[in-house]
Structures are given as C-alpha cells and as structure tokens.
Amino acid sequence: MMAKTKAEPDNGKSAALADRDTSATETESRVAQWLLDAKRERPAPPTVEYGTDEAGGFTVALDKKRGRKALLALHSATGLRNYDAAFMLLDQLLRLSASDFSKLDPANADGALALLDELKPSDGPEAMLAAQMVAVHVASMQCFSRALLSDQTFAGRELNLKHGAKLSRIYAQQVEALDKHRRKGQQTVVVEHVHVNDGGQAIVGHVSAGSRQ
C-alpha cells in the first residue's frame, strides 16, 4: 500500500505566486506564467470523495462541490467520451492505492488522477496506455522506496532494485509507444547531404565515399 502523504490543494495558488511576490525573479515569473497558461488550457483534474451508503458500504464519488464540472474534468483527464469507460478507468486508478476502497488514501488516489491528467490522453488507446504508465510508475517507485528502507536486507534491496529497474525500462517503452501513437505512424526524413553536380541531378540522403547513388 502506498504511504499516506497529505498534499494541500493547489486551487490556482502556484500560478499566481509571482503576482503576489514582488521579489520573484524573471525565471520564477516565467514559470508562474507557464503554470497559469497550462491551467487555462485544461480543467483541473477531478478529485474523489469517500463516504458510506445507507447499508454501511463504502462509497467513492467525484467531488460533489464541483457538480457537473467534476464529470467534465474526469472526461478531460481520461480523454474518454464514454461515461462508463471513464468511470472504469477511474476505478482502476483508485485501486492503485488500495484494492479495498475502505483503505484508500485520498491524497494518493487524487494524485493518480492528476498524473493521468498530466499525460493528456486524447482517445481510448492513449487513456489505457496512460493509466498503465501511471501504474508502472507507482509500482517502480514503490520498489525503489522499499529498497532504500534503513532496515532492508541486502537480498531485499537487490530484489527491489531489480524489479524497479525492470519497471523503469517498461515505462520507457510505454513512452515510446505513446509517442508513436500520437505521431500516427508519421515518419521523419532527415536530409544529411544534398549535392548537385554540374549538369547532373541532386543527390539526397546518406552519402559515403565512392557512392554513386
């Protein structure tokens, strides 16, 4: 289970930092403007609320204070148009914190949704791949965290570092897959040399000594 870490809601505070702090440097002001532009581009990711139903069962729902905006934020964060698909992905992300909803840590659950939102999925394949990337990232960081425990055994440290490294390689492959999908198979042609001989044709491409192509 993920460690419980309480994070204060941003609520646009970071984007307005430079405006309130007259001592902000030029670099800090640029970062603040970048944050502000990014937050204007997309709605804030949804957050979840936890409670119990009449039968005493544990319930999870989107932030009721935001009303319909919370649902729109979920569709924006997942990149999915279908209501059931978006909530299925939400359920899977929440279970990264704990398989038993009664043991969910709100900060980690909201954090998983925020990580998904940072990847900006725009369709079904991107949404599913982005969710897997969040899962792999969480799992790898857990491995590295356990490896660094002060009372960890040598064998335990080695095992966790091994699995963490393996998961990191998987994540790198996922990044490549996401980039490839977004490029939709487009190929980039790099022209290294262009030679035009007198009365001849242009030679485009890799040119080596003695080449006549």
User: Would the pLDDT of 9 be above 90?
Assistant: no
pLDDT score, position 135: 96
Question: Which are the contacts of 35, defined by CB distance < 8 A and separation ≥ 6?
Answer: 14, 15
Of the candidates 172, 160, 166, the residue with the CA atom closest to the CA atom of residue 133? 172
Q: How far does CA 121 lie from the centroid of its chain?
A: 9
Average pLDDT over residues 50-56: 74
Cα–Cα distance list, 184 to 16, 81, 150, 178, 179 (Å): 37, 20, 46, 10, 9
User: Would the pLDDT of 165 be above 90?
Assistant: yes
Summarised one tens digit per residue, pLDDT across range 77-106 is 999 999 999 999 998 998 887 767 677 777
Q: At what angle do helices 106-119 and 124-147 cross, to 10 degrees?
A: 130
The amino acid sitting at 211 is S
Domain ranges of the chain: 10-41, 48-187
pLDDT score, position 208: 47
Summarised one tens digit per residue, pLDDT across range 99-154 is 676 777 778 888 999 999 999 999 999 999 999 999 999 999 999 999 999 999 99
